[in-house]
Amino acid sequence: MHSKSTPDNTSTESNTTRRNFLSRVSLSTIPLALAFANEQPLSAKPVKPDLGPRNFDLAAKNSHQSGTATAMISMFMQGGPSQVDLMDPKPLLNKMHLQKFPEKIKYDNAAEASSRIFGTPWKFKQYGKSGTAISELLPGLSEIVDDVLVIRSMHTGVNNHGQSIHAMNSGRIQEGRPALGSWVTYALGSETRELPAYVAMTDPKGLPVLGVLNWSNGWLPSLYQGTVIRPVEPRILNLNPPAALRGKTQDNFLSLLRQLNGQHHQRRNRELELDARRTNLELATRMQSAAAAALDISKETKATHEMYGINNPVTEEFGKRCLIARRLVERGVRFVQLFTKNQYWDHHGSIQTRLPASCQKIDIPAAALVKDLKQRGMLDSTVVHWGGEMGRLPVIQNDSETKNFGRDHNTYGFSMWVAGGGFKQGGTYGVTDEFGHRAIENIVNHYDYHATLFHLFGLDAETVTYKQNGREQSLLDGQAGKIIPDLLT
Amino acid sequence: MMLPMRRVLYCTLLLGFLYPSQSVRLVAQTSKSANVSYEKDVRPIFKTHCFQCHGESNVIEGGLDLRLNRFIQKGGENGPATIAGDHKNSLVWQRVSSGEMPPEDSHLSPQEIRIIEQWIQLGAKNLNTEPESLDNNTYFTQAELDFWAFQPIKKPTLPTINDSTLARSPIDYFILQRLQDANLSPATAADKTTLLRRLTYDLLGLPPTLQQMKRFLANNSPDAYEQLVDELLISPRYGERWGRHWLDVAGYADSEGYTDKDIKREWAYYYRDYVVNAFNQNKPYDQFLVEQLAGDELIQSPLSDLQPADVTLLQATGFLRMAPDGTGQAGVEQMVARNQMIADTINIMTTSILGLTVGCAQCHDHRYDPISQKDYYELRAILAPALDWKKWQVPSTRRISLYTDEDRQQKTEIESRAVIATAKRQKQVDQHLDRTLTEELIRVPDQVRDALRAAYKTKSDQRTDKQKALLEEYPAIGKIPSGSLYLYSRKRAARAVELTKIVDAREQEILEQARDKFLNNLPQEQRTILTAAQQTKPEQRTLEQNALLKEAPVMLADYATLAQFNPTAAATIKANRQIIEICRTTNSTEQLETMQKQVDAIRAEIPKEHFIRALTEPVDHAPDTVLFIRGNHDTPGDKVNPSELDIFAQFIATNIPLKGVAQQTTNRRLTYAQHLTNGKHPLTARVFVNSVWKHHFGRGIVNSSGDFGVLGQMPTHPELLDYLASEFMDNDWDIKQLHRLIVTSSTYRQISQRTETLDEVDPDNKLLARQSIRRLESEAFRDAVLAVSGLLNNKMHGPGIPVMEDGVGQIVLGIEKLDGERINKATGNLGGEEHRRSVYIEVRRTRPLAVLATFDIATNAPNCTKRASSNVAPQSLLIMNSDFMVEYSQAFAGHIIKQSNDSLEDQIQLAWKTTYAELPSTENLQALLTFMDTQIKQFKTEDADLDDQVAHRKAFEVLCQALLGSNQFLYID
């Protein structure tokens, strides 16, 4: 698969000159945050005994077939948004509110478990031409329903956060496998030399459950690890200058460094290695400004700022991240994943105040991203994903006072939405039972979603493989993932 | 089955990768000689591409055996393969030139086909008489046996040179002679400051200190340099520097590797400390090798009560335990993992000590070197009693405890106390479970309470359907498990309030029931009067009312008097209230945690048991070794006996014992180690002196330091290599003496500057008409930054400084404390440990420290005989923007300011001297002063309120960062 690279679209500039040692780097030496397309290792030393010498790089590659998608932005709603309160209306719950739930149920928190049904406190209405029913909590989503497909029958079947995140984001419930973004960049490389191929954007309030495993390359070469754009300065480690060295002060620093290296070189002017190192300093400087430019949203129009809710303190933070995500994809970044803070959607209690708060922060910016991509003609080639690792139960958790009511975990039937890149526009797919508890029709397992997603990128999720522990491993890893035609345009 | 296939693939890839250089060599050979022979020219091609199917391991496809010219002439099923003088009608030429053979992708190159053509045209001859049979022995041609690296070492006489005044040491004679032949002159000697810096980094991996610099520059005695060499060689920093070089070839790691779990190897550091100490103690290299290969066969004391000297010997055997080892991990195929560990150990042993790629003979005869597959398994047989794949011990069970008998006794006593404390805690857990059940039962309706209690108490497999359904309806009861007690205790105050409300209501209900019962027995009229009296506020009651009520006390019954009217209910309510009180006041989570801590505290008194990751051999254990056909352990071949490789056995007789004396180990490894170090082995000394040379000059005399075989590079100075090897052995394998010999030579002391002439004639500096500029290795770079900033902590030995993933997945120093959600709660404060030298940082295969990995580290899959030295933009980014550079630059600036007066010029001078071990030129000084001026102004422009001193300090920190990030700091002249 690596052999299908298109060599000419990345090899410009100085590293194709006589100094081939510029590109001499072993894979294990590429530190996090610095995996760029221009670092093309000549010979990768195997980390495991069975790898043999293989070459890996981030040069853009053609996919197996022509795909519709070339990039992806995933908004990962960690914690598990409540499907029955947001995008999977179940009138029966309201009819049977507070009555005993008639079926078997699996709880996460026994101490607060209850078998009484909890009808949704919010109103649903149908929107758009497609008439998709959306909760009043998501006014943003209701405006873009005709561009998105709501999948109501997601299923991972493991009732805790960690395992279900692994399933959704790295294909299997086990730890240690490469994240979705790693697979996509491994298969397709990157369209940019000056920005990381795969970016993870974290919330200022902290990391999601599983921390850095969310963007781990697993056993793929470290080149394919997600680079974190941090919510605070320096936003990209080693790629953004430290606090004392911004702008002019860093210019002064760099010119001093150039001067020192220049003087040093005068007496050693035949050392090509020193030449190369000076060239690398300039390349590094360019990378730094490319990153700074991508992160600088000040030149975006007022209308754009408003659309993403950047003028509103509630939506400002997530709005900025969504806007930056668009700017990254615009510049050739292959895969961007935005994470909400630790357990942001894990509403075990007080769901009636906490769920609206979560929605208020996320909904408008998320919808703006889709609108913005669409108006720029980027939506057709950019997959947008919004969803978490689970949904929630139809029964009450914390059955004391009404205001304390929450909902416990549910991975047997939950909802998420996708848009762009070849996903079907408008409508819903899949059905849960009349309580919104279990997916019963057109079930979409995590591996079905992944097979379909890879298909949109022109990839086959079973044949994009990497040899590990003596066997060719894939994202699906033998699970019977199927491409679901009804999800496609 | 999988593994050997991987091996074949790996070797094929490797060969494909190396292929071009081979064909170049072949072309060069044929153009020189018009006599094309089977042995010299054709056989290497057939051996590489064809033997596997045409001759080797009894595979003779199409009946054609290509291993002897005689066989070729005879041919296979289709008749003779060659017709002398007529290549076009020779089958072998037809098959290879059409691309039909070899099958699949690996065709012969046009040059190779041309050699075969020429050979046939010239008569298809062989040089020597061919052996009668190949049945039992692998046949190597004289040309293969004559290869330089397999010849005995002979100490050469010094060559004559024109100007012997240029020579300081015997080394220089060999170098000058080659230069003379090439019409080149050596470079001049470097100045004292250059030499000081070069030597200090070479020997210690650190920059010279200001004191060292002052002392050396002030020392005008003729042997000032030699004094410096001696001074540096006795520094403990020397062992850390050169120990690390050895750890590269030994494949040192603090984790097991093999799978991505890469579990930690807790006790590997005892081997690292052994190596550091061995270099510092100047342990003779022969002894160093013997201890590493067979230390366990030398110990005197019993394993259960080891003497210190024997502990050292066992530490040494960690060498044979460094390979990736998956055998202690779940889910791996054991037999594959074991054989892989053995294969990797053989790779480490042979590349590090012999400089040979013996591992290529695991599946088939070595494609290039005269090493047969049988050789490989004979060598493996030497390790077999200790590494027996059929009788294997996993890492956790084979480690050797350093516990003494006294330690053991103490442990037993403490453990018995811990057991008592644990039982006490369990009792408490049970009480809390019982109470929690009662609490939960308070909440349920009266009519189901008893049924629920009974259902809960019934074992789950004996519950009736009704009970099951009941528990499902009340999941908070059904699911009370001991592991989740904390869930019930989490909101205990609110819980108590809620339960109290229920009990209050119930009490009220019972009181009313009691009153109703009493009133129901009275006539209507009295009922009304009494009820009115009871409902009147006490202070407004009439005397009559009071009297009436006194007669009917139940009318005023409250919680205090309830027992008089309904003792059963009162008792239940009282008990409930007590339980609620316990719920409200008792933090069971905390209580149980405290009790657990008490248990832990008792156990903490147990003396910490240390272990060594050693290799030991069971006594009286001599398992058979068989050859694995195609390297596959599922297809065993003939039995082999332990032996040295045939190629060496031809010069030095060895007799590796099959069995030891009774109650002893076999002594196979000890005998082999003694054989390697008996002074006659062609490679042991050559390989080691070459690696020492490499670290002093940037390239080895044999540049492929891990491969002295046919595919490796030829020595640039073969006589010099033999001279050094002989001298080294004559000096009883004295490593420090070897350093002295090398670094005191004129060759070493030359300046490194390139010239136009030299760049034309010898761009790679093979002839050494100058020294070479070298980049600091990653460890030296990090250690140097720590040293100049004044923070370097010289603490030696012990467990590795831990590495962890920080919040963005970068590998940094710190103790990882992952919570249940894998969020790292580490503080990162290591109490000064973070400033220790890099050799003490944990080497986790999948977690290389970011700052080291960026500047290239030793590969450990399984070991590293030659490090990469990359030159990439991420290194510049690290220098510009990393926390590492910023933090240490700040420390460096502070360190300089503290040591100097307020004069900026002095500060700059001192910083320059500390960084580069030289004084700045006037221009340098001026440039830095100008920078400070500009930068201070800039800081003040950005923040008008900035204090002068702060602005100065900030600017100076940036200046320090530029010094540390400059090429002059990163490179040694």
What is the pLDDT at residue A13?
30
Cβ-in-10-Å burial (0-12, 13-18, 19+) of B104 comes to exposed
CA distance B9 to chain A (A): 8
What is the Cα–Cα distance from A178 to A466, expressed in whole angstroms? 10
DSSP per residue over B6-68, as a string?
A: HHHHHHHHHHHHHHHHHHHHHHHHHHH-S---IIIIIHHHHHHHTTTTBTGGG-BGGG---SS
Q: Which residues of A touch B871 (CB under 8 A)?
A: 21-22, 24, 273, 276-277, 280
What is the pLDDT at residue B105?
58
What is the Cα–Cα distance from A81 to A410, expressed in whole angstroms? 10
Q: Which residues of B touch A232 (CB under 8 A)?
A: none
Q: Within 10 A of B818 (CB to CB), how many other CB atoms are there?
A: 15
Cβ distance of B823 and A288 shorter than 8 Å = no
Q: Which residues of B touch A47 (CB under 8 A)?
A: 257, 845-846, 861
Q: Which residues of A touch B965 (CB under 8 A)?
A: 257
Q: Are A152 and A418 in contact (CB under 8 A)?
A: no
Interface of A with B in 264-303 (CB under 8 A): 264-265, 267-268, 270-271, 273-274, 276-278, 280-281, 283-285, 287-288
For chain B, the residue count is 973
Nearest to A212 among B474, B808, B970 (CB): B808
What is the pLDDT at residue A441?
95
Average pLDDT, chain A: 84
Nearest to A114 among B475, B931, B963 (CB): B475
CA distance B248 to chain A (A): 14
Cβ distance of B754 and A239 shorter than 8 Å = no
Q: Which residues of A touch B942 (CB under 8 A)?
A: 248-249
Which residue is associated with the tokens 């526009």?
A425
ipTM of the complex: 0.75
Helical pair B224-233 and B210-218, crossing angle rounded to 10 deg: 150
Cβ distance of A277 and B880 shorter than 8 Å = no
Q: How far is CA A114 from the centre of its chain?
A: 34
Cβ distance of B859 and A45 shorter than 8 Å = yes
Q: Return all residues near B948 (Cβ < 8 A) that are at least 6 apart.
A: none
- B-interface mutation test, from A40, A237, A404, most B Cβ less than 10 A away: A237
Q: Which residues of A touch B966 (CB under 8 A)?
A: 257, 260-261, 264
- Domain boundary assignment for chain B: 2-133, 418-518+551-599, 774-870, 881-972
Q: Which residues of B touch A231 (CB under 8 A)?
A: none
Q: Is residue A185 domain-resident?
A: yes
DSSP per residue over B293-334, as a string?
A: HHGGGT--S-TTS--HHHHHHHHHGGGGG-S---TTSTTS-H
Q: Is residue A187 domain-resident?
A: yes
Q: Return all residues near B189 (Cβ < 8 A) that are at least 6 apart.
A: B195, B746, B749, B750, B751
Q: Which residues of A touch B344 (CB under 8 A)?
A: 49
Which pairs from B913-916 meet CB under 8 Å and 24+ separation?
A: B913/B210, B913/B213, B914/B207, B914/B210, B914/B788, B915/B207, B915/B788, B915/B963, B915/B964, B915/B966, B915/B968, B915/B969, B916/B197, B916/B963, B916/B968, B916/B969
Cβ distance of B861 and A48 shorter than 8 Å = yes
Q: Is residue A21 domain-resident?
A: no
Cβ distance of A283 and B473 shorter than 8 Å = no
**B-chain residue closest to A237, CA distance:** B882
Q: Are B621 and B458 in contact (CB under 8 A)?
A: no
What is the pLDDT at residue B583?
83
Helices (H), A205-350: 248-266, 272-295, 302-307, 313-330
What is the pLDDT at residue A55?
52
Q: Is residue A419 domain-resident?
A: yes
- A-interface mutation test, from B258, B808, B935, most A Cβ less than 10 A away: B808
pLDDT digits (tens, 9 = 90+) for B323-369: 999 899 888 888 888 998 999 999 999 999 999 988 888 888 887 88
CB-hemisphere CA count at 13 Å for A230?
17
Lookup: tokens for B95: 């098959």
Which residue is associated with the tokens 């009295």?
B526
What is the pLDDT at residue A87?
97
Which residue is associated with the tokens 């009180």?
B581
What is the Cα–Cα distance from B480 to B836, expressed in whole angstroms? 50
Residue (of B495, B489, B481) closest to B590 by Cα position: B489
Nearest to B861 among A45, A104, A226 (CB): A45
What is the Cα–Cα distance from B838 to B618, expressed in whole angstroms? 36
- Looking only at the bridges linking them, the beta strands covering B636-640 and B811-813 are unpaired
CA distance B652 to chain A (A): 34
Q: Which residues of B touch A213 (CB under 8 A)?
A: 822
Cβ distance of A212 and B494 shorter than 8 Å = no
Nearest to A284 among B257, B873, B957 (CB): B873
* B841-B844-B847-B853 Cα dihedral, nearest 10 degrees: 60
Lookup: tokens for B606: 């147990």
Q: Is residue A5 domain-resident?
A: no
Q: Which residues of B touch A274 (CB under 8 A)?
A: 773, 967, 971
**A-chain residue closest to B488, CA distance:** A111
pTM of the model: 0.76
Residue (of A230, A162, A232, A169) closest to A200 by Cα position: A230
Residue A30 has pLDDT above 50, yes or no: no
Q: Is A387 helix (H, G, I), strand (E, B) or coil?
A: strand
CA distance B856 to chain A (A): 6
What is the pLDDT at residue B535?
85
Helices (H), A48-138: 83-86, 91-95
**A-chain residue closest to B854, CA distance:** A29
Q: Quote the number of domains for chain A.
A: 1
What is the pLDDT at residue B270?
97
B181: β partners: none
CA distance A29 to chain B (A): 4
Lookup: tokens for A147: 């561009």
Interface residue A160 vs chain B (CB under 8 A): no
Cβ-in-10-Å burial (0-12, 13-18, 19+) of B649 comes to middle
CATH code for the domain in which residue A199 is found? 3.40.720.10
**Phi, psi at B803, each rounded to 5°:** -115, 150
Cβ distance of B809 and A216 shorter than 8 Å = yes
Q: Which residues of B touch A46 (CB under 8 A)?
A: 861
Q: Which residues of B touch A43 (CB under 8 A)?
A: 17
Residue A455 has pLDDT above 70, yes or no: yes
What is the pLDDT at residue B104?
66
CA distance B735 to chain A (A): 31
What is the pLDDT at residue A242?
84
Interface of A with B in 354-383 (CB under 8 A): none
- Cβ-Cβ pairs closer than 8 A, A with B, add up to 293
Residue (of B675, B609, B689) closest to B643 by Cα position: B675
Cβ distance of A249 and B958 shorter than 8 Å = yes
Q: Are B53 and B100 in contact (CB under 8 A)?
A: no
Q: Which residues of A touch B877 (CB under 8 A)?
A: 34, 238-239, 284, 287-288
Range of the domain at A334: 71-232+296-487
Q: Find out whether the peptide bond into A234 is cis, omega within 30 degrees of 0.
A: yes
Residue (of B853, B844, B839, B855) closest to B776 by Cα position: B855
Q: Which residues of chain B fall below pLDDT 70?
A: 1-34, 57, 104-106, 135-138, 481-484, 827-828
Q: Is A481 helix (H, G, I), strand (E, B) or coil?
A: coil
Interface residue A469 vs chain B (CB under 8 A): yes
